[in-house]
Amino acid sequence: MVCGRWRGGRCIIARLLQPDRSQPITNPTIIPRDQHCISRANISNAALKVLYRLKDAGYEAYLVGGGVRDLLLGREPKDFDVATNATPEQVKETFRNCRLIGRRFRLAHVRFGREIIEVATFRAAQPSPDAASSNGQGMILRDNVYGTIEEDALRRDFTVNALYYDIRDFSVIDYAGGMEDLHNGFLRLMGDPETRYREDPVRMLRAARFAAKLGFVLSPETEAPIAALAGLLGEVPAARLFEEVLKLFMTGHSVASFEKLRHFGLFGQLFPDTEAALATEEAGFPHTMVLKGLENTDARVTSGKPVTPAFLFAVLLWEPVRLRTRQYEAEGIAPYAALQAASSDIIERQLGRVAIPRRFSTPMREIWTLQPRFQHTKGKRPQRLAGHPRFRAAYDFLLLRAEAGEADQALADWWTEFQGQGEVGDASSGSDEGEKPRRRRRGGRRRRRKPATGGGGE
Ligand code: ATP
Ligand code: MG
């Protein structure tokens, strides 16, 4: 699995032993340049600039985390993270284009155009898990004690994420048997897994995400505590969970993420109402709808098309909305009012878990509440619906419902044909974010603008 050149390998005993996190590891395995496949040609120029500038300023600087892991697997990294012994303030002094962020975990962001390189100072363990730095459950609230690279390696989550690429000699430094685990497709949390999950419950989501993205399996001791500790995710700020949901579902492996999350009992922590709906009707429509929606999302990401969290969340939460709408209707509320009320309820409940910014929750609600309007295919109503800013996303959503067997396929076909007649613009990119309605120009021909007469400049 790892690029062919690495021939090293720790003995099996070393691999099975957990690194003792109370002691920095002093005998790392060094994999020289000619025994691994990381080439500077595959590292972004921005990351290289940061590494070289820090080195030239007299600091240690390493590429670390997903960048090293993914390059060793022959994959294109999502981003590049740098670790250094320079403090955030020293990093800021070294780069003009630098901003310091984060409280819990203070970081420097160095920006080059659209690319941001995250530069983290080596972390050490907290001197003691005092009340100021962790909560009563062992959760780390602040993690800003700086240390050495050896200490930093132990603060990271999985062994495969604790590999350091040294810009001085282009070697890879392996403190925790990460190369071996990478080779074998293992995700292994360093240290005592239960303690590590308690320190930061998001590590459970990260385990599911990397398992999905890389096709790795969790080592038994890494997997074992998750079922019992999943509930700790309830204490993670909803805004952080939103970010994690995007990484799980919007980076091209959402189907695998969904399956892993459900397998580990984590999905219900993020989407409790959806989980309840799926659990009762496992084989039926809701499951199909979610899976088809996620498959579409993955296909769009893979082919470079835009995707929006509004559509994703609309798919994930539709079944709870539908069930709640039915309840309201049974209580005698008119269908459209029932759908509106159900949408509000489900959004409010969901925000308690995962923060959905308004710029996504508003269009999500529109995608739902436009659905009944597709029933009307007579007179001027189709044309009016087609002019709605959210028409295309809502139409895509209708197709998905039809594909999953919940909406009438003939109705979906009618709308496809309606657009084929040139009544509305291209519907193929239905779920694009921030789409504007295509205004029809009145009066046909474009008027020629008068040439600007700027007052005799030249
Ligand atoms: P990707 O960027 O592909 O999602 P990544 O492994 O680079 O994966 P990041 O979130 O970018 O993930 O984090 C960079 C590195 O920081 C990780 O590889 C890991 O070493 C460390 N790290 C990130 N989050 C945690 C955490 N919650 N606990 C411990 N270490 C972490
Ligand atoms: Mg990363």
Return the beta strands (E) in 257-380 as ranges: none
Residue nearest to atom 11 of ligand 1 (CA): 66
Q: Using the mean position of ligand 1's atoms as its centre, give its distance from the Cα of residue 116 in Å.
A: 15
DSSP letter assigned to residue 341: H
**Cβ atoms < 10 Å from Cβ of 360:** 20
- On whether residue 260 sits in a domain, the answer given is no
- On whether residue 227 sits in a domain, the answer given is no
Please indicate whether residue 161, judged by its CB atom, sits closer than 6 Å to ligand 1: yes
How many domains does the chain contain in total? 2
Q: Which of 84-98, 126-140, 440-454 has the highest mean pLDDT?
A: 84-98
Report which residue type is found at 374.
Answer: F
Phi, psi of 134 (to 5 degrees): -145, 160
Among the options 143, 152, 157, 396, which is catalytic?
157
**For all residues of the chain together, what is the average pLDDT?**
87
Report which residue type is found at 206.
Answer: R
Same domain, 1 and 150: yes
Are 33 and 172 in contact by the 8 Å Cβ rule? The answer is no
pLDDT at 286: 75
CB neighbour class for 184 (10 Å; exposed up to 12, middle 13-18, buried from 19) = middle
374's tokens: 């597709």
180's tokens: 């071996």
* Last residue within a domain, chosen from 165, 191, 217: 191
Pick 378 or 430 by higher pLDDT.
378
Report pLDDT digits (tens) over 245-299: 999 999 999 999 999 999 999 999 999 999 999 887 655 677 889 999 999 999 9
What CATH number is given to the structural domain containing 343?
1.10.3090.10
Same domain, 162 and 287: no
Q: Which domain holds residue 154?
A: 1-191
Among the options 79, 345, 408, 432, which is catalytic?
79
Closest approach atom of ligand 1 to CA 69: 6
Dihedral sign, CA of 40, 41, 42, 46?
Answer: positive
Please indicate whether residue 65, judged by its CB atom, sits closer than 6 Å to ligand 1: yes
**Bridge partners of 158?**
189
Same domain, 143 and 284: no
Read off the pLDDT band of 437 (50, 70, 90). Answer: very low
Whether 157 is a known active-site residue: answer yes
Residue nearest to atom 13 of ligand 1 (CA): 65
Closest approach atom of ligand 1 to CA 202: 27
Pick 449 or 19 by higher pLDDT.
19
- On whether residue 142 sits in a domain, the answer given is yes
Closest approach atom of ligand 1 to CA 162: 20
Same domain, 162 and 45: yes
pLDDT at 449: 40
The closest of 300, 199, 189, 222 to 255, measured between CA atoms, is 300
Closest approach atom of ligand 1 to CA 66: 7
Same domain, 295 and 170: no
CA distances from 334 to 121, 361, 380 (A): 58, 23, 23
Report pLDDT digits (tens) over 190-230: 999 999 999 999 999 999 999 999 999 999 999 999 999 99
- On whether residue 235 sits in a domain, the answer given is no
Please indicate whether residue 105, judged by its CB atom, sits closer than 6 Å to ligand 1: no
Closest approach atom of ligand 1 to CA 203: 27
Please indicate whether residue 157, judged by its CB atom, sits closer than 6 Å to ligand 1: yes
pLDDT at 429: 36
Please indicate whether residue 236, judged by its CB atom, sits closer than 6 Å to ligand 1: no
- On whether residue 217 sits in a domain, the answer given is no
* Rounded Cα–Cα distance for residues 21 and 100 (Å): 28
Q: Using the mean position of ligand 2's atoms as its centre, give its distance from the Cα of residue 65 in Å.
A: 6
Q: What percent of the chain has pLDDT over 90?
A: 77
Rounded average pLDDT over 316-341:
97
pLDDT at 421: 75
Q: Report helix angle 409-420 to 391-403, nearest 10.
A: 140
Same domain, 149 and 283: no
* Last residue within a domain, chosen from 162, 191, 220: 191
Same domain, 183 and 85: yes
Return the beta strands (E) in 79-221 as ranges: 81-84, 98-101, 107-112, 115-121, 163-166, 172-174, 186-187, 217-218
Are 64 and 81 in contact by the 8 Å Cβ rule? The answer is yes
pLDDT at position 321 over 60: yes
- On whether residue 166 sits in a domain, the answer given is yes
pLDDT at 129: 52
Contacts of 444 (CB under 8 A, 6+ apart): none
What CATH number is given to the structural domain containing 37?
3.30.460.10
Whether 169 is a known active-site residue: answer no
- On whether residue 403 sits in a domain, the answer given is yes
Q: Using the mean position of ligand 2's atoms as its centre, give its distance from the Cα of residue 417 in Å.
A: 44
**Cβ atoms < 10 Å from Cβ of 304:** 6
For a substitution probing ligand 1, which of 76, 141, 161 has the most ligand atoms within 8 Å of its CB? 161
Read off the pLDDT band of 127 (50, 70, 90). Answer: low
Ligand minimally distant from the alpha carbon of residue 21: 1
pLDDT at 440: 40
* Rounded Cα–Cα distance for residues 122 and 83 (Å): 6
Same domain, 415 and 303: yes
- Opening angle at CA 230, ends 229 and 231, nearest 5: 90
pLDDT at position 142 over 90: no
Residue given tokens 């694009």 in the structure block: 432
Please indicate whether residue 78, judged by its CB atom, sits closer than 6 Å to ligand 1: yes
pLDDT at position 30 over 50: yes
Q: What is the DSSP string of 53-118?
A: HHHHTT--EEEETHHHHHHHTT---S--EEEESS-HHHHHHH-TTEEEE-SSS-EEEEEETTEEEE
Whether 345 is a known active-site residue: answer no
Are 100 and 118 in contact by the 8 Å Cβ rule? The answer is no
CB neighbour class for 138 (10 Å; exposed up to 12, middle 13-18, buried from 19) = middle
Rounded average pLDDT over 146-157:
93
Q: Using the mean position of ligand 1's atoms as its centre, give its distance from the Cα of residue 416 in Å.
A: 43
The closest of 233, 221, 311 to 268, measured between CA atoms, is 233
- On whether residue 209 sits in a domain, the answer given is no
Report which residue type is found at 124.
Answer: A
Rounded average pLDDT over 57-81:
96
* Last residue within a domain, chosen from 173, 191, 209: 191
